[in-house]
Amino acid sequence: MDSSVKIINEWDIVAARQLGRNVAKELGFGTVDQARITTAISELARNIYLYAGQGEITIEKVENGAKKGLTIISCDEGPGIPDLRKVMEDGFSTSGGLGAGLPGVKRLMDEFSIESTPGEGTLIKSVKWLR
Amino acid sequence: MNMRIPILKLHDCLLISIQWELDDQTALQFQEDLLHKIHETSARGVVIDFTSIDFIDSFIAKVLGDVISMSKLMGAKVVITGIQPAVAITLIELGIRLEEVMTALDLEKGLEKLQRELGD
């Protein structure tokens, strides 16, 4: 079961994190991991809203052998990120301190990957495994 | 659906208990409401309780940090209380440090701390 939320305005950020929290609860994540997942979604959705204008957050349940987890996919067709290494540095921001940035999201989740093409958009996938 | 967070006055303090998940607009409205209320009531202390809140993202943290600095400019001290373990863990992992902020475990201890700070 996959579900997604289109991010167009600030209310969609709330909808995306509620969806993520519900799926995390369903999968049996504890309160700390639920907070990590909810926060990561909030940051990714806000990045879409601030930088790309619009995009989509998709929440997927994943299984890898005996492991179960949750994947957050953040996808937009915004301007893209010209220097990926730079945005993965702590404290780098182009929006005057809004958003803790991608390093924070990476720390909250277990796996993190990013693809971005200037002028075409950004795709971020991150996974949290159930312990 | 713009909900406003109630701000209660108790002697020279203001009490706020955040009871539901904050969206951006509610957080910004709260910032403005609190500053007006400090001005209106000449409050010297503010306690903001987060017991019911299960996550704080960087935006809410920024609004919160800002409103604490703004209150200070107006002569009011702010204590935040009731931060849940999951919230403390995610805020630090996210890389957000609210280091200059007065905190207490719960509302009761927060009010005690504030009374001591205000010296009465």
Give the whole-angstrom CA distance, residue A118 versus residue A51.
12
Three-state DSSP state, A48: helix
The reported pLDDT for the residue numbered A93 is 60
- Write the pLDDT tens digit of every residue in A42-84: 999 999 999 999 999 999 999 999 999 999 999 999 999 888 8
What are the φ and ψ backbone dihedral angles of A117, each rounded to 5 degrees?
Answer: -125, 120
State ipTM.
0.90
The reported pLDDT for the residue numbered B106 is 96
Give the residue extent of every domain in chain A: 2-129
The reported pLDDT for the residue numbered A12 is 96
Three-state DSSP state, A79: coil
In this structure, CATH architecture of domain A2-129: 2-Layer Sandwich (3.30)
pTM for the full predicted model: 0.91
**Cα Rg for chain A, rounded, in angstroms?**
14
Q: Least CB-CB distance to B89: which of A32, A38, A43?
A: A32
Give the whole-angstrom CA distance, residue A6 versus residue B42.
44
CB count within 10 Å of CB B20 equals 10
Domains of chain B, with CATH numbers?
8-118 (3.30.750.24)
Residue holding tokens 């996808």?
A: A75
- Write the pLDDT tens digit of every residue in A79-88: 998 888 888 8
Q: Does B4 touch chain A (CB under 8 A)?
A: no
A contact test, residue of B56, B63, B90 with most A CBs within 10 A: B90
| Chain B nearest CA to A39, separation (Å) | 5
- Write the pLDDT tens digit of every residue in B67-94: 999 999 999 999 999 999 999 999 999 9
CA nearest B93: which of A53, A126, A75, A39?
A39
Q: Is B68 exposed, middle or buried (0-12, 13-18, 19+ CB in 10 A)?
A: buried
Query: Mean pLDDT throughout A107-131?
Result: 95
Give the whole-angstrom CA distance, residue B82 versus residue B80.
7
- Write the pLDDT tens digit of every residue in B6-59: 999 999 999 999 998 899 999 999 999 999 999 999 999 999 999 999 999 999
CA nearest A26: which of A63, A70, A77?
A70
Contact B58 A98 (CB under 8 A): yes
